[in-house]
Amino acid sequence: MSDAVVIVPSKTADVGRLLKLARQDTRIAVEGESHPPVISAFVTRVRETLNRLVMPTAGLVVLLEGTKDIVSGTEHRIYRSGDAIILNANEHVDVVNEPDHKSGFYRALFVRFDRALIIEAARLWPQFVNQELRLREPLLTDDLCSALLHAAEALSYQTRVSRRVAEHRLLEVLLILAEQGAISLTPKYVDGSVVEAVRLLVRHRLHFPWTTAAVSSEFSMSEATLRRRLNSEGQTLQHLLLDERMNAAFTILNDRDASVAEALAATGYQSRSHFSKHFQQRFGATPSEVRSHRSQTRLPD
């Protein structure tokens, strides 16, 4: 765990409406299924440590009881009852789930947003496509609680609704998150600059081992199309990734109280020598030199 800890203040103390969705753990149903539940409950009475957890799809976590520590790159944040968290597809995180010291339970909900659902939301509400995020964590408002309950009802075995109705209720959850500025929708195809779209995609997941196949899949285009469109803007994926990783490393070392090892982890490098070579070629100084002189050094234009 990182030493730089941010305790996230709870957005609301009223989570009782959602507790009925987390009476028992439903992760057993998730394991081994090709189509896991869209809304699942995480319930435990023991401390859980999950290292290098990879998110298969984007999702919303709502913490109902206990605390959740999440480490992503150099960031370590602590969440409490009433907090909500967006986790991105392919994001690698270290997680500690701690039961509440009074009740003895840890309870949380996870809402899975499939790629197809996000594409549909982007089609319906293009004003939220690739929007600049205003909130680091969603606000667990009454509207969001009601939308979650409405979606859970449609997805439960006790009700008989069409797949389309259930999808619309999940879209309502996505719309509320988009209106809050807590999530950015991604279109099926990139209509504008593909270079800028790639930068936005990888910028907050630089530790992920991005490949042409992974990026083209995110944009629902072929690898050949991605290469052709990048080439038309005079760029390659390798160059873009190096550019974003080096700029992020400089910021981490120059503006934050982080070690070189943390900069490596945040930017996805396995080899320290490889990282240092690229860094020195870019900035004319080693990572350690920039870290020790961060107050005098500024990122070149």
> Residue 164: what pLDDT?
84
> Residue 212: what pLDDT?
95
Average pLDDT in the 107-135 region?
89
Burial per residue of 29-55, b for 16 or more beta-carbon CB atoms within 10 angstroms, e otherwise: eeeeeeebbbbbbbbbeeeeeeeeeeb
Superfamily of domain 194-292: Homeodomain-like (1.10.10.60)
Alpha-carbon radius of gyration of the chain: 21
- Helix runs in 13-160, H state only: 16-19, 27-30, 115-124, 142-155
> Residue 144: what pLDDT?
95
CA 109 to chain CA centroid, nearest Å: 16
* pTM of the predicted structure, to 2 decimals: 0.70
Neighbours of 119 (CB within 10 A): 16
Backbone angles phi, psi at 72, to 5 degrees: -135, 110
Whether 251 shows a pLDDT value over 90: the answer reads no
Most confident of 132-136, 165-169, 190-194: 165-169
Cβ-contact 183, 136 below 8 angstroms: no
Whether 86 shows a pLDDT value over 60: the answer reads yes
Whether 90 shows a pLDDT value over 80: the answer reads no
CA 124 to chain CA centroid, nearest Å: 22
Cβ-contact 40, 157 below 8 angstroms: no
Backbone angles phi, psi at 98, to 5 degrees: -115, 125
- Tell me where in the chain the CATH 1.10.10.60 domain(s) lie: 194-292
| Tens-place pLDDT, residues 184-208 | 887 776 777 899 889 888 887 888 8
- Tell me where in the chain the CATH 2.60.120.10 domain(s) lie: 5-180
Looking at the structure, give the CATH architecture of the domain made up of residues 5-180: Sandwich (2.60)
> Residue 35: what pLDDT?
60
> Residue 140: what pLDDT?
93
List the structure tokens of 86.
Answer: 């967006």
| Tens-place pLDDT, residues 9-46 | 555 546 889 999 999 998 764 444 456 689 999 999 99
- Classified as helix, coil or strand, 76 is strand
